[in-house]
Structure 1
Amino acid sequence: MEAEERPSKLQKTEHEVTTADVATIMAAPGPSSAGETGIDDTKPDAKTENCTQSAIDTTALSVQTEKPLSKNQLKKLEKQRKWDAGREKRKEYRKEKLQAKRERSRAIKAQLHANGETLTPGVHIEGILPDKNKLRQEARARAVNVPLTFIIDCDFDELMSDKEHKSLSSQITRCYSDNAKARYRASLVIASFHGQLKERFDTTLSKHYENWKGVRLIQEDFATAAEAAQARMQEIRRPNMEGMFAEKSGSDTVKEEAEVVYLTSDSPDTLTELKPYSTYIIGGIVDKNRHKGICYQRAMEKGMKTAKLPIGDYMQMASRFVLTTNHVMEIMLKWLELGDWGKSFSMVMPKRKGGRLRSEAGTPASTEDGKDEDEIDEEEVDDVDDDAKAVDGPSDDAK
């Protein structure tokens, strides 16, 4: 056979063989006759056979390495699916419940008007409970914004599970609600507000934080937030030095005594009082005791002062001293109003922790320390959302 009649040599090319390619190769018919190509089609080419077999083996291996979901994961997915599917139904139920309540109120008012009677101010329309709306209005009217800042450090996004993110979002909502309703309010900053936490607020919680007042949500870390908070408070021209800060209103050194403190149960120092113009940082993490000392370590890396609440000085606990984020903040808000750590602990401490005042317990307080493994009580997210929506937040600091 002459050279010009010989078939040209095929160039080797990079080609990724897929499952569809394998099926095409196996199903493709061979040449009609050996004479057309000069190759005997009764025996497959060795290289083609090896390539085909390799592609089949690779496809089978990739299928085998894909792990199926566990039963627990499937249950969680099904639970989440049912929860999402029932959202509109729950919304309609709350709407019907509110409508029925309004109809009862109108009926009672009509009956009272027919009998020539009037409602007692501040009393619920059904005469059973105080009017919550009126109580909120009175609380807002007498509330005072004091020169103090609380920062929630949320830079633990990758260390928490979906359930723990859900719990943290509820705790942050409670923090806002408690501060908004407090007799003496502090400025509230949510630091490192990004990642999965922000995604949950933007999707599941429908961005209700956009209606919050007197709170700053920033992407910067706690150190940057603390620096900005200190500078902002120093610029306040007419500070409200009331409550526990009243006795320091005439002090010339009150601004010099201001401090930035990261609250952590791992600290060797104990917090004795809250100081005006100061910033107190709370670790926003729910970790079931997996990451011991992480807040203390973060504060040390920034060269920041640390302290722990004086729980052991006032309370005897049946469990660890560490509390949820919202409980820590609520205790400090109560101290601003009462000036008594013991009363503040007894009013806020969850009953499940078995805490008692040392004066009532009659025995020395426990010195157990460590990470808290309690989360906020599991409640409907919609209830937590409604609790925040029912409160008008504090206005910005007076300057």
Structure 2
Amino acid sequence: MADDTVRGEAAAGVQTESRNGGADGENQSLSKRQRKKLLKQQKWEEERELRKERRKEKKQQRREQRQNQTEEEGGEAQSFRKRPRREVTPSSVRLVMDCSFDDLMLLKDVRKLHKQIQRCYAENRRALHPVQFYLTSIGGQLKQSMDEKDKGWVNWKDIHIKTEHYKDVVEKEELVYLTSDSPNVLEELDQKKAYVIGGLVDHNHHKGITFERAKELGIEHAQLPLSSFVKMNSRKVLAVNHVFEIILAFLEKGSWRDAFFTVLPRRKGAVAVTQGGEYTLKEDEENSDSDSDRDTPEQTA
């Protein structure tokens, strides 16, 4: 029995030694790079709480700095942020988009018109003197594009969206169709009038169609006084959003010249007309803050 006991204790000792040796062997099997990575991970875990405390301290310091700055400035910075950028005074002028040319355009052109309408809406929303904006004859491809590309259009504010033709929305005597083919030149904006812009991207395929439509309906028509202030390399037919933005700019600046040179894109090659009938380089080209030249508008009738 004594011999059996001795042999059992010896066997247990061998097993313990084997286990310890296995652990040491596992550590020894790690490469130097692996051991270094393991130590780095352990250190990162140990310092987790320390990093958390440091982040809290930095956040508190930034908060105190902002508070001190506000107090030093007497609250001016905060009141400035809350103060509106400028006082908006809505205009009684009505701008009506005639979208009854849907069947004359390819879908790709309808989508371009959709983008131009989006631009008009956005510009009117931030204008100093926003106009009464009407979209008429909404339907067909245009409505399909608006539903697919801009589902939020049904929630647009400060805009009148109609499926009816503009002649059924506004009194005939109040309508003035803006078309570059009209012999009449618009000198001033009548606050009682509704100015119609043809919603057509035509690539010159339908020249003069808006002028003909205006004559057929027996309504007034006029062109913007572009030739009196501007000479351009291209045709004087402008995109839908440019006509819209020029009206907004005129309401703000009270000058057709300033309105044209604020809105017209540089690629149009616009130059100012002098009193002597000669042309000078566009004075506002470098200083204009308009971003209209970023668009790719097509010509409208």
| The two structures share one fold, judged by TM-score above 0.5 | yes
Counterpart Cα distance in 2 of 1:143 and 1:121 = 22
SS in 1 for 2:85: helix
Counterpart Cα distance in 2 of 1:162 and 1:361 = 46
Query: Compared with structure 1, are the counterparts of its residues 110 and 274 closer, same or farther at alpha carbon in structure 2 (3 Å cutoff)?
Result: farther
If you compute each CA radius of gyration, which structure gives the higher value, 1 or 2? 2
In 1, are the aligned partners of 2:271 and 2:279 still within 8 Å (CA)? no
Partner of 1:224: 168
Superposed counterparts of 1:41-52, under 5 Å: none
SS in 1 for 2:130: strand
Tell me by how many angstroms 1:361 deviates: 10
In 2, are the aligned partners of 1:155 and 1:191 still within 8 Å (CA)? yes
**145, 166, 177: which is aligned to 1:200?**
145
Partner of 1:191: 136
In 2, are the aligned partners of 1:150 and 1:186 still within 8 Å (CA)? yes
Query: Compared with structure 1, are the counterparts of its residues 340 and 165 closer, same or farther at alpha carbon in structure 2 (3 Å cutoff)?
Result: same
Partner of 1:138: 85
Counterpart Cα distance in 1 of 2:100 and 2:265 = 26
Superposed counterparts of 1:1-399, under 5 Å: 112-115=62-65, 116-118=68-70, 121=77, 137-139=84-86, 142-206=87-151, 208-227=152-171, 259-359=174-274, 363=278, 377-378=295-296
Identity %: 37
Query: Compared with structure 1, are the counterparts of its residues 168 and 109 closer, same or farther at alpha carbon in structure 2 (3 Å cutoff)?
Result: farther
Query: Compared with structure 1, are the counterparts of its residues 376 and 165 closer, same or farther at alpha carbon in structure 2 (3 Å cutoff)?
Result: farther
* Structure 1 gap segments, 5+ residues each: 1-107, 124-129, 231-257, 366-374, 380-399
Query: Compared with structure 1, are the counterparts of its residues 171 and 111 closer, same or farther at alpha carbon in structure 2 (3 Å cutoff)?
Result: farther
Which amino acid counterpart does residue 295 of structure 2 have in structure 1?
A: D
- 1:104-153 superposed Cα distances (whole Å, 9 cap, x missing partner): xxxx9866433333396379xxxxxx97xx68x434xx211222211000
TM-score by length of structure 2 reads 0.67
Partner of 1:39: none
Tell me by how many angstroms 1:279 deviates: 0.6
In 2, are the aligned partners of 1:192 and 1:219 still within 8 Å (CA)? yes
- 1:169-227 superposed Cα distances (whole Å, 9 cap, x missing partner): 11111111111111112111101000010011112212x12221111111111211222
Counterpart Cα distance in 1 of 2:63 and 2:127 = 36
Query: Compared with structure 1, are the counterparts of its residues 164 and 180 closer, same or farther at alpha carbon in structure 2 (3 Å cutoff)?
Result: same
- 1:356-390 superposed Cα distances (whole Å, 9 cap, x missing partner): 2213997259xxxxxxxxx98259xxxxxxxxxxx
In 2, are the aligned partners of 1:269 and 1:308 still within 8 Å (CA)? yes
SS in 1 for 2:238: coil
Counterpart Cα distance in 1 of 2:136 and 2:294 = 20
* Structure 2 gap segments, 5+ residues each: 1-57, 281-292
- 1:253-283 superposed Cα distances (whole Å, 9 cap, x missing partner): xxxxx84210000111110000111110000
SS in 2 for 1:203: helix
- 1:53-95 superposed Cα distances (whole Å, 9 cap, x missing partner): xxxxxxxxxxxxxxxxxxxxxxxxxxxxxxxxxxxxxxxxxxx
> RMSD of aligned C-alpha atoms?
3.1
Which amino acid counterpart does residue 130 of structure 2 have in structure 1?
A: R
TM-score by length of structure 1 reads 0.51
In 1, are the aligned partners of 2:272 and 2:279 still within 8 Å (CA)? no
Counterpart Cα distance in 1 of 2:146 and 2:278 = 44
